[in-house]
Amino acid sequence: MLEFIISALKDFSDNNLYYTAGKVFKMIIDRSIYDSPLGKILLQSTEAGLFGLNFYNKDDFADSGSKRKNNIIDSAKRWLDIYFSGKEPDFTPPIDAAGTEFYHKVWKAVQEIPRGQTMTYHQIAEKLNCRCALPIGRALADNKVLIIIPCHRVIGSNGDLRGYSGGLERKIKLLSLEGVKIEVREKHFVS
């Protein structure tokens, strides 16, 4: 019976109902595309806040969001305008990212990394009194609100860039935009 329910829920994912974090249901009420200097970004919001901010790689995506005013999406677009102009936004749009309590702690720690600086997975683990950096990497891999939750500022202990769901080329460009000096080496591209 449980398998049937989960299967049915997965069918709803195309209709804006998302099954996440093991038990959390989020209803996406709006979505929009933001044209950034690094490519199209898909913005998704619930009634409570921004649920997703992800680079979208398909050229044929039609903006299927509603055309009604959405303050959350508008706030995220203003934030991105300021960010891509090379400045630090002085506000954060409301965020309603789905994740465990631990994930939210990791994402909060990452949001505290100042623009133009980086931290390692190990440093974040130490900050959160976590014995291992692997759960930090897992939480960041599940971050669906890129840039605003700046997981691009997290690097490997040896200076490797490691992964980034937006792609390592974009990670390099985001860090460069923030003034971080990156010496691009082949070994950066380790997943």
Please pick, among 53, 125, 147, 151, the residue that the annotation labels catalytic: 151
Looking from the CA of 169 toward its CB, the CA atoms found within 13 Å total 4
Per-residue pLDDT of the chain (191 residues; tens, 9 = 90+): 444 444 434 444 444 544 444 445 567 788 899 999 999 999 999 989 999 999 986 654 555 555 567 899 999 999 999 999 999 999 999 999 989 999 999 999 999 999 999 999 999 999 999 999 999 999 999 999 999 999 999 999 888 888 899 999 999 999 999 999 887 765 545 44
Q: Strands 24-27, 17-20: parallel, antiparallel or unpaired by DSSP?
A: antiparallel
Domains of the chain listed by start with CATH number = 2-84 (no CATH), 101-188 (1.10.10.10)
Q: Answer yes or no: 132 catalytic.
A: no
Q: Say what the pTM is.
A: 0.81
Residue 26 buriedness (CB in 10 A; 0-12 / 13-18 / 19+): buried
